[in-house]
């Protein structure tokens, strides 16, 4: 039966506000550092929120043998190329010549590209008819032809990072991009996992990439009042599970992983870093703006993943602990998410076990990477297993009396970590959960 196939992770890579390589970013996570700072990519001084966690000093070209292939790459594709290259090389696929491109697939959760705001506004300014207080469409297209950059516009389609990575790594197998808001890359990895289990590919590259640190991204989230406005303490602003949390902090970047069937990895002598054992996906089907107050959607996704992994959430292992050792929370630092996610975790694991499972949010350090968030959080889970260390939730100095799980406050913690669960919940009620465990033969 195809579903007995074991699916392993053989490569990891990321480009994040805390750095562009596995070791640096992990070290900074363990140190509890923040990647948040003032927005300097555009003039944000007038906005309710003036800060974000930006990727800094990053040049994707240094990861590529032939950067000319990607000369028009937009920001999302740039992040994705660097992250994927790291994962590809860690998996040893750069030195493996027998790969069948038709058995290599790609499933990304990439966000839409960045609207070229300055040129867009210039186009509007040129074509605004003051008398009618409306755009003159005829003048708009003339101005657009003059102002807009054709490649910049083409590269905004969300499937562009898939096309760039496929070209870079000669991928010819199943190819998808999904965009389910903040759940996208968790969902992408989950779907890549099911494609491998079905036997439709031997290797999948999967993950997410996104930036919404641009004028209209900040505008949109500020209008929704979803962002923290703690402009006087920007590194303390992302404070998941804290009583004084006031919204999320925008981050950006990419996380990419190489997934393989165990057969394929073994046959080429690759060492698995970890194994994916469960995936769940659900919709709240409640409201476009709010999560269901009981956390039913998140709980459904967690339960599906546990069921697939064969884990009883109420069981206690031989070591006296629940069978899940760490939960990487969606943990956005919004009032709603952190409280409902806590409810969902309790409803699935029961109070007794829920209190025994450490839960933390790296969004406290690198902000919310939106479509890419789930992929960097899954990578964090793998590193927690490899390093036997739990990443902290920083800025958690004022506990919310309603939120009483073990959120690994402020300091990383050594722990015996074998099995981790990672949640992502998207706007509009899309919920996805992955379960990853240490590699054992």
User: Does 44 sit near another protein (CB under 8 A)?
Assistant: yes
| Residue 203 binds to another protein (criterion: CB under 8 A) | no
For another protein, the binding residue among 32, 37, 48, 67 (CB under 8 A) is: 48
Own/partner contacts of 312-321, CB < 8 Å, gap of 24 or more, are 313/348, 313/349, 313/350, 313/353, 314/349, 314/350, 314/352, 314/353, 316/353, 319/416, 321/356
Number of neighbours of residue 224 by Cβ within 10 angstroms: 11
Run of H or E including 9: strand 7-15
Nearer to another protein, 213 or 273 (CB): 213
Site residues for another protein, 62-101, by CB under 8 A, read: 69-70, 72, 101
208 membership: H or E segment, kind and range: strand 203-211
For residue 271, the minimal CB distance to another protein (Å) is 27
Shortest approach of another protein to residue 291 CB, angstroms?
12
Binding mask 293-332 for another protein (x = CB under 8 A): ---xx--x---x----------------------------
The yes or no reply on residue 258 touching another protein (CB under 8 A) is no
Q: Is 11 near another protein (CB under 8 A)?
A: no
User: Applying CB under 8 A, does 229 fall inside the site for another protein?
Assistant: no
The span from the first CA to the last CA of the chain, in angstroms, equals 19
Q: Is 290 in the site for another protein (CB under 8 A)?
A: no
Handedness of CA 344, 210, 392, 82 (dihedral sign): positive
Q: Out of 170, 244, 271, 388, point to the residue binding another protein (CB under 8 A).
A: 170
Work out which of 14, 47, 79, 326 binds another protein, going by CB under 8 A.
47
CB nearer another protein, residue 18 or residue 226: 226
C-beta closer to another protein: residue 250 or 362: 250
* Residue 204 beta carbon to another protein: minimum distance, rounded to whole angstroms: 12
* DSSP SS3 for 48: coil
Question: Hey, which residues does 52 pair with through a beta bridge?
Answer: 37
- Which range of residues in 256-264, 288-296, 328-336, 346-354 is near another protein by CB under 8 A? 288-296
Q: How many binding residues for another protein (CB under 8 A)?
A: 93
**Binding to another protein in span 150-169, by CB under 8 A:** 150-151, 153-160, 162-164, 166-167
Kindly tell me which of 308 and 418 has the beta carbon lying closer to another protein: 308
Q: How far apart are CA 277 and CA 259, in angstroms?
A: 12
Burial, 325: exposed, middle or buried (Cβ in 10 Å; 0-12, 13-18, 19+)? buried
Helix ranges (H only) for 293-334 are 296-309
Q: Minimum distance from CB of 341 to another protein (Å)?
A: 18
Those residues with Cβ within 8 angstroms of residue 67's Cβ, 6 or more apart along the chain or in another chain = 60, 61
Among 288, 320, 440, 441, the residue binding another protein under the rule CB under 8 A is 288
What tokens were used for 383? 């590193």
Q: Binding residue for another protein (CB under 8 A) from 33, 37, 140, 321?
A: 140
Q: Is 72 a catalytic residue?
A: no
- The answer to whether 225 contacts another protein (rule: CB under 8 A) is yes
Nearer to another protein, 46 or 269 (CB): 46
One of 20, 325, 368, 420 is an active-site residue; which one?
A: 368
Cβ within 8 Å of residue 35, ≥6 positions away: 16, 17, 18, 28, 53, 54, 251, 365, 366, 367
By CB under 8 A, is residue 287 in contact with another protein?
yes
Comparing CA positions, the residue from 226, 206, 260 lying closest to residue 374 is 206
| 145 vs 414 by CB, closer to another protein | 145
- Residues 40, 43, 312, 352: which binds another protein (CB under 8 A)? 43
**8 A C-beta contact, residue 14 and residue 253:** yes
Pick the closest to residue 418 from 279, 311, 337, 333 (CA basis). 311
d(CA 340, CA 329): 11
Catalytic residue among 330, 381, 419, 420: 330
Under the binding rule (CB under 8 A), the answer on residue 386 touching another protein is: no
For 339, the 3-state DSSP assignment is: helix
Site stretch for another protein (CB under 8 A), options 53-61, 133-141, 254-262, 341-349: 133-141
Q: Is residue 286 involved in binding another protein (CB under 8 A)?
A: yes
| Residue 330 bears catalytic tag | yes
Closest to 393 (Cα-Cα) out of 418, 373, 363: 363
d(CA 304, CA 293): 20
197 with 3: CB under 8 angstroms? yes
Among 142, 246, 404, 406, interactor with another protein by CB under 8 A: 142
Q: Which of 121, 267, 315, 316 binds another protein (CB under 8 A)?
A: 121
- Alpha-carbon span 108 to 161, nearest angstrom: 8
| Residues 329-368 interacting with another protein (rule: CB under 8 A) | none
Exactly one of 70, 178, 182, 325 is catalytic; name it. Answer: 182
Active site residues: 182, 330, 368
């Amino acid at each position: 039966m195809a579903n007995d196939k074991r699916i392993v992770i053989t490569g990891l890579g990321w480009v994040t506000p805390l750095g562009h390589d596995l070791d640096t970013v992990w070290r900074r996570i363990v140190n509890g550092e923040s990647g948040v700072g003032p927005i300097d990519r555009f003039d944000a001084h007038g906005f309710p929120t003036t800060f974000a966690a930006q990727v800094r000093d990053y040049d994707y070209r240094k990861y590529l043998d032939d950067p000319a292939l990607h000369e028009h790459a937009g920001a999302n594709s740039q992040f994705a190329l660097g992250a994927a290259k790291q994962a590809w090389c860690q998996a040893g696929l750069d030195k493996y010549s027998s790969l069948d491109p038709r058995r290599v697939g790609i499933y990304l959760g990439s966000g839409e590209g960045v609207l070229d705001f300055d040129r867009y506004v210039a186009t509007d300014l040129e074509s605004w008819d003051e008398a009618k207080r409306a755009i003159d469409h005829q003048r708009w297209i003339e101005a657009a032809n003059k102002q807009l950059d054709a490649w910049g516009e083409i590269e905004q389609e969300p499937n562009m990072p898939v096309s760039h990575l496929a070209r870079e790594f000669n991928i010819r197998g199943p190819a998808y991009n999904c965009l389910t808001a903040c759940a996208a890359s968790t969902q992408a990895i989950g779907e890549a996992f099911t494609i491998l289990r079905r036997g439709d590919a031997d290797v999948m590259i999967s993950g997410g990439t996104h930036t919404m640190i641009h004028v209209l991204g900040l505008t949109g989230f500020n209008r929704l009042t979803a962002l923290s406005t703690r402009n006087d303490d920007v590194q303390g602003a992302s404070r998941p599970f804290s009583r004084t949390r006031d919204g999320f902090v925008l981050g950006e970047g990419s996380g990419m992983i190489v997934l393989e069937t165990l057969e394929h990895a073994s046959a080429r002598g690759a060492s698995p870093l970890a194994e994916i054992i469960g995936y769940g996906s659900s919709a709240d089907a409640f409201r476009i703006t709010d999560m269901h107050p009981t956390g039913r959607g998140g709980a459904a996704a967690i339960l599906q993943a546990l069921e697939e992994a064969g884990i009883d959430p109420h069981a206690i292992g031989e070591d006296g602990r629940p069978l899940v050792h760490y939960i990487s929370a969606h943990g956005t630092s919004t009032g709603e998410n952190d409280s409902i996610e806590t409810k969902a975790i309790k409803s699935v694991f029961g109070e007794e076990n829920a209190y025994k499972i450490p839960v933390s949010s790296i969004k406290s350090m690198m902000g919310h990477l939106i479509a890419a968030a789930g992929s960097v959080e899954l990578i964090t889970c793998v590193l927690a297993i490899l390093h036997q260390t739990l990443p902290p939730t920083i800025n958690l100095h004022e506990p919310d009396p309603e939120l009483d799980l073990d959120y690994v406050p402020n300091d990383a913690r050594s722990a015996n970590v074998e099995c981790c669960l990672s949640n992502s919940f998207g706007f509009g009620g899309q919920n996805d959960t992955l379960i990853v465990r240490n590699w054992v033969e």
